[in-house]
Structure 1
């Protein structure tokens, strides 16, 4: 059972999220907070597996709350859910210790999958945010990494497109293969490159 703490200053949004999660097998909402200070207190008391964290809140904001939660209990997974996907919110949240970053216009299934991924130690991101992170990481690398050994030709094709910031659907369209096949290749690539997430995987790509 994944124990979830909901943090958002809008009661209506918290109520909607609670309904969504309570209807899902394997998830339990153990508490709610309407601002950051309460989130820090409840995280210490309730020991949730995942904190779904809004960023803009009165008083103690979500970034400060994330930092305090991670300082007190580093094993907690904080998943940001926000309206604001710009760099001014993204990078401070990640620096504070958030494991993932989803936007509030995401489909319900994306949020549910994101919570599962966060609880499993992965880093869920909305596709637009992930694409920006990948491109920033690749562009910031001072030199091309060594080519990864042991990849099939198709895996190398997929890896190159991951480095370009393409989504699974876009990779499937570009290579004329199914999305499920792309996911299978990416899982294999993460194993072969020892990459914990898609951003790190992109840095394993051979750049020409």
Structure 2
């Protein structure tokens, strides 16, 4: 397993290197201390896994994750950070991170997470996993109560409309054809009794859709 470490704190970075050097199956192919550097080294070093801190100088770890996976989708990125707020967790998930562990985690937990993401798995620290499950349980119940006249797919499209996405982006996000998006948008307008996209956005945001991405 070829591994790249991205963290701007030398003491923590050294600790990770010492820990991972104990594993014969791991080869540390590089280290980075800021976001720009890790994006460059991700292409140069060809790692299988990147241990990514969120609070990197310059380009933060979430944006670095997004940029790296856009060019190198085969790399597995494990977030290792002190941030445990919901915004950071879900931003990392949306960016494509395959795991999220806290810097205070036991060494065994970090090694388990590295092995999990390297084999294609997805893993989170217990605290993070519980928060994610609670969030999605609440989110699912809330979505079902908003605009009950809409189908689940129509609610997904309305959520993206409320974020400001156009039909082309919506089609790419949901992996459906532009024609299908147009039909869904037309159905949404009819059911909500709105005459324009602007009116639909107002209705959706008043109901709380699209707000998380905007914050």
TM-score, normalising length: structure 2: 0.64
Answer 1 or 2: which has greater helix percent.
2
**Shift, 1:92, TM fit:** 1.0
Structure 1 partner of 2:10: 11
Counterpart Cα distance in 2 of 1:137 and 1:60 = 28
Deviations 1:11-47 (A, max 9, x none): 1111110010011121111100001100011000111
Greater C-alpha Rg:
2
**Shift, 1:141, TM fit:** 2.4
| 1:36 maps to 2:54 | no
SS in 1 for 2:12: helix
Deviations 1:36-62 (A, max 9, x none): 100011000111111000001211110
Structure 2 partner of 1:68: 67
Counterpart Cα distance in 2 of 1:90 and 1:133 = 8
Counterpart Cα distance in 1 of 2:59 and 2:132 = 26
Deviations 1:72-121 (A, max 9, x none): 01111010000011112111111111111000000001001100000111
SS in 2 for 1:141: helix
Structure 2 partner of 1:58: 57
Q: How many residues align?
A: 142
* Mapping for residues 46-195 of structure 1, pairs under 5 Å: 46-142=45-141
Counterpart Cα distance in 2 of 1:121 and 1:58 = 28
The 10-residue stretch of structure 1 (88-97 or 111-120) with the greater mean CA deviation from structure 2:
88-97
Counterpart Cα distance in 1 of 2:10 and 2:121 = 28
**Shift, 1:138, TM fit:** 2.2
Counterpart Cα distance in 2 of 1:107 and 1:22 = 16
Identify unmatched segments of 5+ residues in structure 1: 144-208
Counterpart Cα distance in 2 of 1:92 and 1:139 = 18
Say what the alpha-carbon RMSD is for the aligned residues.
1.1
Counterpart Cα distance in 1 of 2:110 and 2:28 = 14
- The list of structure 1 runs, each at least 4 consecutive aligned residues, that deviate by more than 2 angstroms after superposition, is 138-143
TM-score, normalising length: structure 1: 0.66
Identify unmatched segments of 5+ residues in structure 2: 145-215
Structure with more contact order per residue of length (Cα contacts < 8 Å, sep ≥ 6): 1
